[in-house]
Amino acid sequence: MPLRNVRTNIVQSIRAFRVSDLQEAAQQLGHHFLYANLATAQSKQDVLDLIAQKFTFPAHFGKNFDALYDCLTDPLHKSGQQPGFILVLEHIPAHAKFDKEAREQLLDIFRDAADYWGDRKIPFRCFYSFL
């Protein structure tokens, strides 16, 4: 059972995991796997643009934290039963244009999404690393 020692609805550092292992776990579990490498992002807008592109958000994505939460929750819920999610946010920027507060706000959105899916008994695991 892949990820048996990882809570089903959590946002945590990727530390002990490799991206390829997480992708394989998602495949074995039949979960959606979403990956975004944010190493080239220089600002909040860049981070949101990359996530939207890599997670294939709709063209009308508002490119703000509220819209990010909305795209991670409601439309997916309304589209039918979901098997679960494993997301990877690799190399979240850590510099003046995307400071600690912005990083925490970003991770809080994913924590809120994990809670949303947890309330619906759908696994939502998000792993992240900083640049």
What tens digit of pLDDT does each residue of 48-103 get?
A: 999 999 999 988 888 899 999 999 997 766 677 899 999 999 999 998 889 999 99
Average pLDDT rounded to a whole number, residues 31-51: 96
Query: What pLDDT is stored for residue 81 in this prediction?
Result: 83
Answer whether 0.75 is exceeded by the pTM: yes
> Which parts of 20-105 are beta strand (E)?
32-37, 85-92
Is a pLDDT exceeding 70 seen at residue 123? yes
Rg (CA), the chain: 14
130 residue type, one letter: F
Q: What is the pLDDT of residue 79?
A: 75
Q: How many other C-beta atoms lie within 10 A of the C-beta of residue 33?
A: 17
Please, what are the domains in the chain?
A: 14-130 (3.30.370.10)
pLDDT at 122 over 70: yes
Give the span between the Cα atoms of 84 and 104, in whole angstroms: 24
> Helix, strand, or coil here: 129?
strand
